Structure 1
Amino acid sequence: MKAATYQVGKKKPLALGIRWAMMGFAALALSQAAVAQDDAEDDDVSLETVVVKSSLGSRGQPRSENQSAVPIDIIGGSEMHNQGLTDVLDQMRTVVPSLNVNTQPISDAATLVRPANLRGLPPDSTLVLVNGKRRHRSAVISFLGSGLADGSQGPDLSVIPSIALEQVEVLRDGAAAQYGSDAIAGVINFNLKKKAEGGQVEIFGGEHFEGDGQTQQAASLFGFPLTDAGYATFAFEWRQADPTSRSVQRGDAAAVAATGNPFVPNPAQIWGSPDVNRDFKSTVNIGLVGDTNDFYLFGNYASRDVDGGFYYRNPASRAGVFSGDGGETLLIGDLTGAGCPSIALVDANGALLPFNTVNAAVGALPANCYTFFSDFPGGFTPRFGGQVRDASIVGGTRGEFSNGWRYDFSASHGQSEVDFYMFNTVNASLGPNQPAGNFFRPGSYIQTERTFNADFSKGFDTSFTAYPLNVALGLEWREEEFEIKNGDQASFEIGPLASQGFLIGSNGFPGFSPRDAGVHSRSNYAAYVDTEASFTEDFMMAAALRFEDFEDFGTTTNWKLTTRYQLNDAWALRGAVSTGFRAPTPGQSNVRAVTTQFINGELRDTATLPPTNPIAQRFGGQPLQPEESTNFSFGLVYADNDWQITADYYRIEVEDRIAQSTNFDLTDADRAALVEQGVAEAISLNSVRFFINDFDTTTQGVDLVANYFANHFGGDTTYALAMNWNDTEVDKFTPAIIGEARVQILEDALPSTKGSFTINQDWGGWNGLLRLNYYGSFYEDHVDSGCVVGPDCLPIYGDSAFLVDAEVGYNFDNGLYVKAGAQNLFDKYPEKNPYGEAVVGAEYPPLTPYGFNGGFYYVRLGYKF
């Protein structure tokens, strides 16, 4: 007999001590901020606004963020790195208000590679670059993505070590005409550090106030000279993060335990952060600077092992494992055909029978009769995980021809691979003959991308522009490949008990069979032209046009117009209008997964099929087309002395968004007609679903970013305010495809308002940070109940919340530094889940936008040399 246990953390004295110390610092900073600093005006030191250059969104010479015609956030690498959060995804969520990401417990592959939403759009609507070059997407297709990211296939941002980052640029505007597919919501560019000498080493440790989720991290950065005119920079990071549990006992598990069953784990199901093991990340950035041209080479390698909990399998009712009639009797497999008795699970009134009664009957079964109650009398909770590997390499040369044309030739290769595994589960159809350790490997997804670019630009003197007219043009060829590898035999095998009603495949995540396996690829080429002209010192305009030809769905042409007008020395207006697109991925167009089970005594398959499959086409499937968008933005910029303020309105209309269809049942007539057409596989299928272009949305919002630099509190002070208001409306949809429940998720799941106010203080050696985070109210369709009104609906309407982060540190003259801090200093939790005990045991809403693990304290010790 097997049972599971879980140690819930306890609050520790060190956690409480650091928490109270951080509270004291927060109170001091807040009180000092309220005091007028008249003496600062008499200080002889004149502060200059630091202007960080960025070329994102422009093919011409780099512009500062205040001088750009579109909104760009420029985030320094230290601002990303110096947080209690160790994953780049979570760090981005803190510093970019329009980016949302949450924990994703019990979300299949989305737990391994968490989807991030920029401006309320799915992760594959944001283009990711590294050093200005397109980043490959993850191998994971998020079939479960909180409703917002269902079916998306975006890049994996968590494979980049934050210690390697020089700065991160976030272009908050549509840019498909410049960069191609996926740039509907915007573009995120990660710039790696370029160091020819010196480096940094660091260790980090922290845990939640609750006493769990212990995290250890070690990071390093080394710079070496490459001849007299080059650099080679290497960064490494290793991390280990223990799981958390914010769970209560499920109501059905408690009912089973109340029968006297001592084997029911408490809690039976874990809601929390997954267990992250051997999380290794590395980058290399190499450059050689010549007289007329430069050579560059950069890339990454990362791997991690992640596993988390699944839904509890109740020993009194779980269909296809413990029962075959809704919990009336045990499901008992006859191993020899000699016949088996029936064992009741409930009495005449429908109440569960005492454990001893059922257990005694199980113990008296003849040897030819098998029930999983024998091995799992308290039920079981599968664990789902994956080994994630990611690698890329980019190389190229850039320089200038003798005729003044600048060039950039580059090639890249990137690959993401996820090897899934399951343990503490069964292939029920195999009966007692389970694999060793109840461990299964259901198979793998592999995404591979190759890109070649040739970019050219030159400035031309004209009679109608104040500065040279910049013209840029280029060509791109790209190939994507999505591969499915089948799992081990036990993960998909149709065992001898399948005909008796036992489920087939590794329970919870059936393996990919050889019929599911395959390689699907697509190539495309693109040509673009981009011009920028400053007609006067105060007025500039830019235009971009891009043509792309895709092997699977044809051509698309997109354009963009931007303008900026400097009203006076401090104020400027800017705006942009563009069209964009997101190409369906080869994975979305070709993924196939089949779950086999006996239904009404027949062996039938339920399949996710390519939309071009004849079976899918019978129910409306057709080749996927790109999502098309129209973007409009208008903004106001103020930059004067120590103030920098930008306010931008945006509106994004997306047509033909890709969705997963509902399940379509095949009738006998359907099967007969398909078999007559030569589609032999239809004879065994029960229902199918597929990806389809279905619904339209309009997203609009406002971004407000303000920075003020001052001499306050006896040191250098930076105040930063960043706010986002975002609203999405579904304009058109097919109820049979996505339904009203998903519409409400698309419109209300994310907080409409999110922002932060940060105070950074530097006293020379001492430094401190205080950040106030705000999250607006949110909606959750708990455990995908799938309805809007009715007794079976489980809506959660979460309230708005303020969270406080604080950090204090000291930098020694010899390069040593130490920092201590807390994320969510006051241990803020969302309101408790009203359905926690009654349904699946989640103490808090699992998809809360700011998490449900409470406060986290940490210490960071490092050395720069």
Structure 2
Amino acid sequence: MKHNISKLQRAISFALASTATIGLYATTAQAEEDANAKDIEKIAVVGSRAAPRSVGDSPVPIDIIGGEELGKTGSNDMLEMLKGSVPSLNVHQNPISDAASLIRPANLRGLPADSTLVLLNGKRRHRASVIAFLGGGINDGAQGPDISVIPGVAMKQVEVLRDGAAAQYGSDAIAGVINFVLKDSSEGGSISIKQGEYYEGDGDTTTIEGNIGLPFTNSGFANLSFQYKDADATSRSRQRPDAAYYAAAGVPGVANPAQIWGAPEIKDDITLFGNVGLELDNNTNFYMFGNYSERDVKGGFYYRNPQTRPGVYSNDDGKTLLVADLDGEGGISCPTVNLTFVDANGDTQRIWDVNNIAAYQQIAADTDVGRNCFAFNEIIPAGFTPNFGGNITDTSLTMGVKGELQSGFLAGAYYDVSGSVGRNEARFFIYNTINASMGADSPRDFSPGKYIQLEKNFNLDLSKTYDWGLAYEANVAGGLEWHEETFEVLSGDEASFMVGPLYEQGFGIGSNGFPGFKPSDAGEYTRRNYAAYLDIETPFTEQFLMGWALRFEDYDTFGSTTNYKVTAQFEATDTLSLRGSVSTGFRAPTVGQANVSNVQTNLSSGVLVDSALLPPTNPISVQLGGKELQPEESQSYTVGAVYQNDGFFFTIDYYNIQVEDRISQSDKIELSAADKAILKAAGVPNVDGLAQVSFFTNDFDTTTQGIDVVANYSMDLLGGYGTFALAYNWNDTKVDKFSDITGLFKVQRLEEDLPNHRATVTWSQQWDKISGFVRANYFGEYQGVHVDYDATAKMADAVVTFDAELTYFVTEAISLSAGAQNIFDEDAEKLDFERTTGIPNNNWGGKYYETSPMGINGGFYYVKATYTF
């Protein structure tokens, strides 16, 4: 309880400190102030450096999701809110995936999470400290921003630019840009409480959120938002066969299920956002905005079999028990405990309960033969399943001044000078495990260390219109940006990495499943870059507009890059316009990807092994093909059309994105004896327990193409007002070039894990006292993968799910809502338990393929009460 109060006090302190100065954002604030609330939701800031324009008039595809629409999803997770409205956005849950279960990655247009630039009020958002080491194929090694900390209650609208925009905004914008625009009202507000759970009776979730707008002197506003959430874990598991055999043999303490597949537990998830603006004079505005967010997450790991787990129970794949001689000086020899025998038919059989083995009885009873001997079955007889978790803290602060210059050669120009800082910290924990090298003295819970991502930005932006004799004034914008990115590794508690006295006898070092970061692993890595850009829009006629963007960026590590973008829009008729763009782009490797090292536990050919992720410049990485990381380079083009007529809005856009030298985690490369000798010389711990090595690499090229269709129609219907919306995406990725470093299965996952077809159809209806919506979600065929290796993969069938919500307005201020996601409880693709070829995919206790784009948890229902003032 004290811990919870402490977190809340820190959050409130941050909010109060921020509200004194948090400020206004809008490239052309007056343009938005002159529009009514309904029109504001159709005006976008991203995609152009000129005045904000409507979605229909944009030469590039943009989705605008208003704050009210975000609430029509049944979820309080921002990723889930966006998934139903943005046709080419896919979001995966990762049930057992190391740090990827702490911060969920999202994929726009079939590209990894860090290929989409995220902005907050038009300013670059810092990325998360967590790197998705086991990111489900497409996201392996991705390090994107943590979108889940952004609450829907704080949003005025979300703008999604579905087009490459690195020439305008810099690195990471290969797939597009998502701009989260905070509410800026100076009055009113709301508070709501929501309670829900899955049809299975688990995942109980409570969310309390609120927003308030206040005047900030007579010339400004202070808009504050909060969200507090708790969510219990879910389990979509069945008992593992090996655990069932141990339980049936009488081994005490076998959990059922021994291994959990499901959503992690999220506790004390608190988020505070503030946005305040102040008019200093008629031509100058000061603004500042920021957030404080913190949550605790705990998820499941793989079950450690009490006879086969290397470095703990056996080092010969379960033939004999791993036994320690505690004398350490020769002493009395420890007996050999054979775990298998050959029956009368010549078949090898396992002895499931070691208590039935005479040699083990001598050890457990401390007889003269086994007095100074030790096996972990004595204290953990049923094996163990670690729980991996973390405390995630996210903070940011941006401030600036903007306005109109009144004199000099730039008189009439708009300027914006700003600075921002963002910090994301992940403190890792692993529970119910051991440091085997410490023997019986090992703790069971560990803190393996921290990752910290710190980013600083300074921007100068200028925009001015010029009369060049065109249809109307051309807009010229330019600016400078300085960016610093620091990735820091902090060592864990000593027990999480120490070399215990049993190491020389074959017992593993460090907290099993996620060894702690040693002091020698700790370090701070920094990179700086600066950029200059020029952006011009030229209206050649009333019907024909072209845009031109050029950006130069220089990094103090790998050098410089220059990128361009050309856009065009032609109004063929009053109702039909054509649009298109051609651009180049880049994505710089993150500082974390270039420097991080880590030990992961994963399955290889059905066997649980430890795998080391090393920096690409490590000697062993270089020996296996690693090189210093270089930026990805992209070329993309989009062509499309917009049709608008009498309440009907329709867009269709084809896109093609070619990315060269994509950055990702390599395939897991099996270590030879010679490789292990080099690793030992380089000081890598626990080398004998490592089976594989991976590293980040620029190894493959891809071509991604697709079609986005968005349609909306509103009409008077059934005595009220109805709106129909369609969002459809066809997406196809092909790997054009790769080597063995990437591997065939990784290629297969890149090309087939995401559904080629995605669609949502939504009907929203509004009456005086009642409103509601029904949404159908279509997910096309996708590759089902279980436990991340190819023996379990199969093509999964397409599926349709439905969401619905009904709201009753008790008074003008009070409303009550009830709804459900996946209302008919459609199951994800089930695992093939009758498989007769390859390795059975039910060995690990799952029920469903975890790559399911709809998740594996099934239907979720909820009720919500809202008070608006």
Pick the aligned partner of 2:376 from 372, 376, 387.
Answer: 372
Q: Do the aligned partners of 1:49 and 1:642 also contact (CA within 8 Å) in 2?
A: no
User: Match for residue 634 of structure 1?
Assistant: 639
User: Match for residue 491 of structure 2?
Assistant: 486
Q: Distance in 1 between matches of 2:378 and 2:844?
A: 24
Q: Distance in 1 between matches of 2:176 and 2:579?
A: 17
User: Match for residue 174 of structure 1?
Assistant: 164
User: Match for residue 658 of structure 1?
Assistant: 663
Deviation at 1:95, TM superposition (A): 1.9
User: Match for residue 62 of structure 1?
Assistant: 52
User: Match for residue 292 of structure 2?
Assistant: 301
1:778-789 aligned at under 5 Å gives the runs 778-785=782-789, 787=790
Pick the aligned partner of 1:447 from 449, 453, 456.
Answer: 453
* Compared CA separation, residues 850 and 664, structure 1 to 2 (3 A): closer
Counterpart of 1:344, as a letter, is N
1:39-188 aligned at under 5 Å gives the runs 52-188=42-178
Deviation at 1:731, TM superposition (A): 0.4
Counterpart of 1:306, as a letter, is V
Unpaired runs of at least 5, structure 1 = 1-47, 597-603, 788-792
1:509-524 aligned at under 5 Å gives the runs 509-524=514-529
User: Match for residue 460 of structure 1?
Assistant: 466
Q: Distance in 2 between matches of 1:760 and 1:137?
A: 35
User: Match for residue 544 of structure 1?
Assistant: 549
> Secondary structure at the residue paired with 1:252?
helix
Q: Do the aligned partners of 1:267 and 1:841 also contact (CA within 8 Å) in 2?
A: yes
* Compared CA separation, residues 680 and 829, structure 1 to 2 (3 A): closer
Pick the aligned partner of 2:435 from 427, 434, 442.
Answer: 427
Q: Distance in 1 between matches of 2:677 and 2:718?
A: 81
Q: Distance in 1 between matches of 2:773 and 2:288?
A: 36
Q: Do the aligned partners of 2:126 and 2:145 also contact (CA within 8 Å) in 1?
A: yes
> Secondary structure at the residue paired with 2:218?
coil
Counterpart of 1:291, as a letter, is N
Q: Do the aligned partners of 1:315 and 1:322 also contact (CA within 8 Å) in 2?
A: yes
Q: Distance in 2 between matches of 1:68 and 1:116?
A: 25
User: Match for residue 346 of structure 1?
Assistant: 340
Superposed CA offset, 1:421-442 (max 9, x none): 001101111100112xx11011
Percentage of pairs with the same residue: 52
Deviation at 1:93, TM superposition (A): 1.6
Matched, 1:797 2:795: yes
Aligned length: 799
* Compared CA separation, residues 849 and 673, structure 1 to 2 (3 A): closer
Q: Distance in 2 between matches of 1:87 and 1:343?
A: 51
1:221-370 aligned at under 5 Å gives the runs 221-289=211-279, 290-337=281-328, 338=331, 339-349=333-343, 350-353=348-351, 355=353, 356-358=355-357, 360=361, 363-365=364-366, 366-370=370-374
Deviation at 1:255, TM superposition (A): 2.4
Counterpart of 2:598, as a letter, is A
Q: Do the aligned partners of 1:447 and 1:480 also contact (CA within 8 Å) in 2?
A: yes
User: Match for residue 746 of structure 1?
Assistant: 750
> Secondary structure at the residue paired with 2:378?
coil
* Compared CA separation, residues 844 and 617, structure 1 to 2 (3 A): closer
1:694-705 aligned at under 5 Å gives the runs 694-705=699-710
Q: Do the aligned partners of 2:93 and 2:855 also contact (CA within 8 Å) in 1?
A: yes
Pick the aligned partner of 2:417 from 387, 403, 409.
Answer: 409
1:491-506 aligned at under 5 Å gives the runs 491-506=496-511
Q: Do the aligned partners of 1:77 and 1:163 also contact (CA within 8 Å) in 2?
A: yes
Q: Do the aligned partners of 1:110 and 1:145 also contact (CA within 8 Å) in 2?
A: yes
Q: Distance in 1 between matches of 2:252 and 2:627?
A: 53
Q: Distance in 2 between matches of 1:684 and 1:311?
A: 19
Superposed CA offset, 1:137-176 (max 9, x none): 0001111100100011100000111100010000000000
Pick the aligned partner of 2:191 from 190, 198, 201.
Answer: 201
Deviation at 1:672, TM superposition (A): 9.0
What RMSD in Å do the two structures reach over aligned CA positions? 2.2
Deviation at 1:681, TM superposition (A): 4.2
Q: Do the aligned partners of 1:49 and 1:641 also contact (CA within 8 Å) in 2?
A: no
Superposed CA offset, 1:709-739 (max 9, x none): 10001101000000011000000000x2111
Pick the aligned partner of 1:563 from 563, 568, 571.
Answer: 568
> Secondary structure at the residue paired with 2:656?
strand
User: Match for residue 44 of structure 1?
Assistant: none
Q: Do the aligned partners of 2:785 and 2:851 also contact (CA within 8 Å) in 1?
A: no
Deviation at 1:222, TM superposition (A): 1.4
Unpaired runs of at least 5, structure 2 = 1-37, 602-608, 834-839
Deviation at 1:617, TM superposition (A): 3.1
> Secondary structure at the residue paired with 1:124?
helix
> Secondary structure at the residue paired with 1:120?
coil
User: Match for residue 385 of structure 1?
Assistant: 389
Counterpart of 1:292, as a letter, is N
> Secondary structure at the residue paired with 1:232?
strand
Deviation at 1:348, TM superposition (A): 2.5
User: Match for residue 729 of structure 1?
Assistant: 734
Q: Do the aligned partners of 1:389 and 1:417 also contact (CA within 8 Å) in 2?
A: yes
Q: Do the aligned partners of 1:251 and 1:837 also contact (CA within 8 Å) in 2?
A: no
Q: Distance in 1 between matches of 2:537 and 2:735?
A: 35
Q: Distance in 1 between matches of 2:419 and 2:859?
A: 44
User: Match for residue 823 of structure 1?
Assistant: 821
User: Match for residue 846 of structure 1?
Assistant: 850
Q: Distance in 2 between matches of 1:162 and 1:72?
A: 19
Deviation at 1:347, TM superposition (A): 2.5
Superposed CA offset, 1:691-716 (max 9, x none): 22110000000000000010001101
Q: Do the aligned partners of 1:250 and 1:837 also contact (CA within 8 Å) in 2?
A: no
* Compared CA separation, residues 373 and 477, structure 1 to 2 (3 A): same
When normalised by structure 1's length, the TM-score is 0.89
1:202-217 aligned at under 5 Å gives the runs 202-217=192-207
Q: Do the aligned partners of 1:299 and 1:391 also contact (CA within 8 Å) in 2?
A: yes
Q: Distance in 2 between matches of 1:158 and 1:672?
A: 43
> Secondary structure at the residue paired with 1:302?
strand
* Compared CA separation, residues 729 and 770, structure 1 to 2 (3 A): same
Q: Distance in 2 between matches of 1:700 and 1:386?
A: 37
> Secondary structure at the residue paired with 2:274?
strand
User: Match for residue 34 of structure 1?
Assistant: none
> Secondary structure at the residue paired with 2:759?
strand
Q: Do the aligned partners of 1:362 and 1:373 also contact (CA within 8 Å) in 2?
A: no
Q: Distance in 2 between matches of 1:657 and 1:709?
A: 43
User: Match for residue 33 of structure 2?
Assistant: none
> Secondary structure at the residue paired with 1:630?
strand
Superposed CA offset, 1:632-675 (max 9, x none): 00001001111000000000000000122345677787799999
Counterpart of 1:357, as a letter, is N
Q: Do the aligned partners of 1:429 and 1:503 also contact (CA within 8 Å) in 2?
A: yes
Q: Do the aligned partners of 1:249 and 1:837 also contact (CA within 8 Å) in 2?
A: no
Deviation at 1:395, TM superposition (A): 0.4
* Compared CA separation, residues 666 and 426, structure 1 to 2 (3 A): closer
> Secondary structure at the residue paired with 1:254?
helix
